[in-house]
Amino acid sequence: MQSNEKTVLVTRPAHQSDHLCGLLTAAGFTPIRYPTIAIQAVENTAHISNTLYQHSNYDYLIFISANAVIQADRLIDHQWQKTPSGMIAIGPKTADTLDQLGLKPAITAAKPFNSERLLTQLPSDLKQKKGLIIKGKGGRTLLAEQLQKRGMTVDTLDVYQRTLPNNYKTSRIKKPAYITITSQLALDNLFLIPPRPIGELKQQCTFVVFSERLARYASSLDCQHLLISHGASDKGLVSAISQDKKR
């Protein structure tokens, strides 16, 4: 089957795909919703609830994603008391989610909205400071390691986990022109789900990824056609596709 140059496979979790799909539609593309990750809340243990309820003891609260904000808010039953002046968001989507809860971030990581960029926005000396990184299970450890090297006492708290969608065994897709990839796990799971030969996707589709790091990883999996987003955002993904010279 010939791929349609206007079709874009959107692998974001189902509850987070509306914005990207809307932007794609407005730009003249046909989005195909195909979540490769499902977000599941973790069990609210005594350790998790105690840590969250004692959030005012930290100098910095660092939210890695919008999902981290949503799940932490649920686990704390929306009972945010005195929040630290050093509330931090990795990227604008996370910052917007905090704003919706009345939790104004003091620092939002600038483009390309990742840990490396955030580290350039923080002091080099963080001795006597205490930080809590709120995130999902797994993922990179670079931020915590680098903050510890600067003298910060760092705790991490996993408030959600990423899994395969429940219907992945019965899912079917038609070959798209583009596939948006916003995390390494999204790409790994994509190759677990489709019934069509994986090699066909790798050779014939263009993978639109959030960063150079993700591009290198996709290349290591033999993905042949790669586009790097103009910033780790939905607008950046759409901009990269719209300006693709191969179209």
Structure confidence at residue 221 (pLDDT): 94
Q: What tens digit of pLDDT does each residue of 117-145 get?
A: 999 999 999 999 999 999 999 878 999 99
| pTM for the model | 0.78
Report the 10 Å Cβ neighbour count for 29: 22
pLDDT higher than threshold 50 for residue 1: no
Q: What tens digit of pLDDT does each residue of 41-76 get?
A: 898 889 999 999 999 999 999 999 999 999 999 999
Share of the chain above pLDDT 90, in %: 68
Which strands form 38-41's sheet, in the order they lie side by side? 38-41, 153-163, 130-136, 60-63, 86-89, 107-108
- Please tell me which residue, 46 or 169, carries the higher pLDDT value: 46
Separation between Cα atoms, residue 230 and residue 112, nearest integer Å: 8
Structure confidence at residue 3 (pLDDT): 47
Mean pLDDT calculated for residue range 107-125: 92
Structure confidence at residue 2 (pLDDT): 38
> What domains can you pick out in the chain, each with its CATH number?
7-37+167-242 (3.40.50.10090), 40-163 (3.40.50.10090)
Report the 10 Å Cβ neighbour count for 120: 9
For every residue of 129-154, which 3-state class applies, written as one string? CEEEEEEECCCCCHHHHHHHHCCCEE
Structure confidence at residue 151 (pLDDT): 97
- Please tell me which residue, 195 or 131, carries the higher pLDDT value: 131
Q: Which residue is associated with the tokens 């987070």?
A: 16
pLDDT higher than threshold 90 for residue 224: yes
- Please tell me which residue, 113 or 186, carries the higher pLDDT value: 186
Q: Binning pLDDT at 50, 70 and 90, where does residue 169 land?
A: low
pLDDT higher than threshold 60 for residue 247: no
Element (H, E) at 8: strand 7-10
3-state secondary structure of 89: strand
Structure confidence at residue 15 (pLDDT): 87
Separation between Cα atoms, residue 40 and residue 37, nearest integer Å: 10
Mean pLDDT calculated for residue range 103-115: 90
Separation between Cα atoms, residue 125 and residue 121, nearest integer Å: 12
